[in-house]
Amino acid sequence: MKTSYLWLKELAPIKDSAQQLANRMTMAGVEIESIERAGKDFILDVAVPPNRGDLLGHEGIAHEAAAILKFALPRKKIAAPKGTGKIRSKLTVTVKDRVRAPRYMARMIHGIKVGPSPAWLVDRLEKLGMRSINNIVDVTNYVMLELGQPMHAFDYDKLREHSLTIQTPPAPMRMTTLDGEEHSLTTEDVCIMDSGGPVAIGGIIGGLNSSVSDTSTVIVLESAYFQPSAIRRSSRRLGISTESSRRFERSVDPDTVDRALHRATQLIVQLAGGTPSADWIDFYPRKVIPARITFAAEMVSKTLGIDIKSPQIVKYLTSVGCQVRPKGAGKWQVVMPASRPDLTRAIDLIEEIVRLHGYDEIPATSPRLPATPATESPMRTLCKRVRELMTGAGLSETIHYGFEPANDMAWAKREQAIEITNPLGTEPTVLRGELAPGCVSAIAFNLRHRTMQGGLFELRRVFESTGSGINDPMHLCVALFGTRAGLHWTGGKEPLDFFDIKGVIEHLSHGLALPTLKYNHGAVPRYIHPRESAVLTLGNQTIGWVGALHPEIAQQLEITVHCYLAELNIEALLKTISSSLIKVAPIPRFPGVRRDVAILVDLARSAEELEAIIRKAGGKLLSNVTLFDYYQGKNIPADKKSLAYALQYQNFDETLTDEAVTKLHESVVKALTQQVGAVIR
């Protein structure tokens, strides 16, 4: 927030220079980002934290400076100007939404004359980045900058039936705001309405149809306290951010609502003439009750490791607006100020105490470390190992948000997506239930930027809806696209195929010492090719899937290269990995014997099924089975395929005889012919 140094000096007896003040406030946790000279004044740019709405007014910053500079600054009382006539005989105000508008005040001023503001007011506003409109609007802006309380003025004669109702619209409506833009209002937006419709979006911006103009003679001044979360949601949804909404989002002081109304009335009567009504409307049925806690000096010493005397603690708490009532030696009941909704717990008060006492007053000491080292969770250890294996395989990690616009991933056709109740934008947003769609979008992005080949992986939690709630298991997604290698003199232009991504999965399996993964036919996501995919199982548990991107989806997303994906539930691997042992075998001292077998089998027979038969028939002496040839085509029936296996026989205790190997090999051949009807070639 841009802040006038001279204005601060009018509100508080500050003796420090602008630079000294900026340094001391920054060291106390209120950062001054820059200082600019403006004539005889200095403009301080205060970085206001999201939970410090009290710093969005010069009075609040003056009180903060007083606390830091360690002098008392009583709250200035503002008397209500006297007037004539009862407001309720001329204006009807009804508050229907007491949750979104806990306090609402209004006062009329008759006989005003709208015109230019005096030079001092124009100069002060322009130095702080605000444009002068007229004396009425300028006063409301001035009071906002002074007290931090947004104000609004309605032209009384433009209010239909001279009524104001604070409510949410009964049905979606449209209205044109002061900036000339038309906006769609929903039943969740708090509005100020007359008998004909909305005349302002509460806490955000006024309507063009009730604005003060040069011909206005009677105005209605509004000062209110709106629910911060309601203003924040409406502001985000409508895409409107104003000086008013910035303050209401961070919460204004409900006890300043009346002070601001009286201050604005004073200035308008002074600058535009007119007579205010004798009374005003103040709807405040349930007062905002500040938090109160029991606080003790020992809490400070235990947390900070330093002793601060009780009188000093009381002084610090009082300087930030707390009411401190003794409850025994070194104990107090502390009532938080309404202007500081960020103060709710003992630790919040300790933070205030230490920053006012001075961080440099805390002596430097070596931290006391526990004697036992911290242990890492099994899941964290597993994720580190998975990242090592994936990067070791040449893949790059990609990181996406945990939520995504529902419309952006419509092609993924997710069922039972979990919607976010308070999305940042206007579109419905869902939590990510799977990682693959995000990786596909990353591939499409890379292709648009002429990166035509590569490998990606993502490791993060996804969100699944269950009958009892929401689960968030850890998933791994692997994505390959393009060719096996980039431009190179050796070639490498061959397009990827299913076995490339299978190789990455096998690399992961071996690196984690998993039991044998099985690739079975089964249900895969709709964006995966059903004829070029498999479901991954470990034992009896399905842990994921692998497959090619469906051609229709690839065409829709303009992906013109081969694309293969896999997604695994890493959570399901934890139990298996913890029970897996890596077995070490000695180097054989005796030579092994290789025998090959070529067979003709039905197309439906999988290599995994055939290998299982071979290993079972070969027994313990069959140390390795390798498929080294696959053929379909000329001289082979259309429903058949030719496979050739290399079988390695090995005895670690003695040299194998030819007779023993022949006997074992014949057992393998017999098993193949009898169990799957294989024809030996």
Residue 274 lies in a domain: yes
- Residue 436 has phi, psi (to 5 degrees) of -55, -45
Phi, psi of 512 (to 5 degrees): -95, 0
What are phi and psi for residue 191, nearest 5 degrees? -130, 155
Residue 61 contacts by C-beta under 8 Å, 6 or more apart in sequence?
Answer: 1, 3, 8, 30, 46, 55
Select the more confidently predicted residue: 63 or 417: 63
pLDDT at 415: 66
Q: What is the overall mean pLDDT for the chain?
A: 91
The reported pLDDT for the residue numbered 404 is: 79
Q: Is residue 121 within a helix (H) or strand (E), and if so which, with residue range?
A: helix 119-127
Q: What is the mean pLDDT of residues 467-486?
A: 88
Q: What is the pLDDT of residues 539-597, one digit of tens each?
A: 888 999 999 999 999 999 999 999 999 999 998 888 777 555 566 777 888 888 999 99
- Whether the pLDDT of residue 113 is over 90: the answer is yes
Both 102 and 238 in a single domain?
yes
Decide which of 358, 393, 410 is a domain's last residue.
358
**For residue 221, which of 91, 320, 85 has the smallest C-alpha distance?**
91
Contact 345, 293 (CB under 8 A): yes
- Pair 197, 309 in one domain: no
* Secondary structure class of 168 (helix, strand, coil): coil
Whether 55 is covered by a domain: the verdict is yes
pLDDT tens digits along 132-189: 999 999 999 999 999 999 999 999 999 999 999 999 999 999 999 999 999 999 999 9
For 159, 365, 444, the CA distances from 452, given in Å and listed in that order, are: 63, 55, 10
Reduced to 3 states (helix: H, G, I; strand: E, B; else coil), residue 634 is coil
Which residue is associated with the tokens 């949750």? 99
Is it the case that residue 468 has pLDDT exceeding 90? no
Residue whose entry in the numeric block shows the structure tokens 């060719």: 483
Q: What angle do CA 62, 64, 68 make, to 5 degrees?
A: 115
Would you list the DSSP string of 537-555? EETTEEEEEEEEEPHHHHH
What does the buried/exposed string (b/e) look like for 492-504 if buried means 16 or more CB atoms within 10 Å of the residue's CB? eeeebebebbbeb
Same domain, 149 and 273: yes
Distances (CA, A) of 17 to 10, 14, 42, 304, 357: 14, 8, 10, 31, 21
pLDDT band at residue 426, thresholds of 50, 70 and 90?
A: low
Same domain, 277 and 299: no
366 falls within a domain: no
Domain range enclosing 151: 87-283
| Whether pLDDT at 509 is above 60 | yes
Which H or E element spans position 519? strand 518-520
Give the residue among 450, 495, 500 at the shortest CA–CA distance from 479: 500
Residue 622 has pLDDT above 80, yes or no: yes
More confident residue, 129 or 373: 129
Classify residue 459: in a domain, yes or no: yes
For the domain that residue 16 is a member of, what is the CATH number?
Answer: 3.30.56.10
- Tell me, yes or no, whether 587 lies in a domain: no
What integer pLDDT is reported at residue 255 of this predicted model?
A: 94
Is the separation of the CB atoms in 531 and 592 below 8 Å?
no
The confidence score (pLDDT) of residue 428 equals 62
Confidence of residue 492 (pLDDT cuts 50, 70, 90): low
Task: Please report whether residue 364 resides in a domain.
Answer: no
Residue 366: pLDDT band by 50, 70, 90 thresholds?
Answer: confident
Domain count of the chain? 5
Half-sphere exposure (CA, 13 Å, Cβ side) for 478? 28
Residue 640 sits at the vertex; the CA angle it makes with 634 and 644, to the nearest 5 degrees, is 85
> Which residue, 564, 432, 463, 444, is CA-closest to 505?
564
Domain match, 129 and 251 both: yes
Cα dihedral 291, 294, 296, 301 sign: negative
CA-based R_g, the chain, Å: 37
Q: Please give the single-letter amino acid code of residue 43.
A: I
Q: Which of 163-172, 359-368, 570-579, 602-611 has the highest mean predicted lDDT (pLDDT)? A: 163-172
Distance CA 196, CA 509 (A): 69
Q: Please, what is the Cα angle at 468 between 462 and 472, to 5 degrees?
A: 15
pLDDT at residue 667 in the model: 93
Window from 331-340, 426-435, 653-662 with minimum mean pLDDT? 426-435
CATH number of the structural domain spanning residue 512: 3.30.930.10
> Which residues touch 21 (CB under 8 Å, ≥6 apart)?
5, 8, 14, 32, 44, 65, 69
In a domain, 607, yes or no: yes
Nearest to 333 by CA among 341, 322, 342, 348: 322
**What is the pLDDT averaged over residues 210-232?**
96
* Overall average pLDDT of the 630-652 stretch: 90
The token pair that represents 607 in the structure block: 């290599």
Q: Which CATH number do you get for residue 148?
A: 3.50.40.10
Mean pLDDT, rounded, for 421-429: 68
Last residue of a domain, one of 259, 283, 307: 283
| Whether residues 307 and 404 fall in one domain | no
Strand-strand pairing, 92-95 and 163-167 = parallel
What H or E segment, with its residue span, contains residue 44? Answer: strand 41-46
Q: Grade residue 97 by pLDDT with cuts at 50, 70 and 90.
A: very high
Q: Are residues 334 and 223 part of one domain?
A: no
The residue from 283, 318, 338 where one domain ends is: 283
DSSP letter string over 478-505? EEEESBSS-S-TT---PBP-HHHHHHHH
Q: Are residues 164 and 26 in the same domain?
A: no
Which of the 8 DSSP states describes residue 523?
-
Nearest to 478 by CA among 548, 551, 430, 532: 548
Q: How many helices (H) and strands (E) does the chain have?
A: 18, 33
Does residue 606 fall inside a structural domain? yes
Name the strand (E) or helix (H) holding 69.
helix 58-69
Q: Is the torsion defined by CA of 422, 423, 425, 427 positive or negative?
A: negative
Give the Cα separation of 15 and 27 in Å (integer). Answer: 18
Do 574 and 600 belong together in one domain?
Answer: no
Indicate whether 518 and 405 sit together in one domain. Answer: yes
- Are 534 and 648 in a shared domain? no
For position 493, what pLDDT does the model report? 76
pLDDT at 488: 61
Q: 427: pLDDT confidence band, cut at 50, 70 and 90?
A: low
Residues 52 and 122 reside in one and the same domain: no
pLDDT value for 491: 63
Residue with tokens 């379909």: 632
CATH number for the domain that contains residue 667: 3.30.70.380
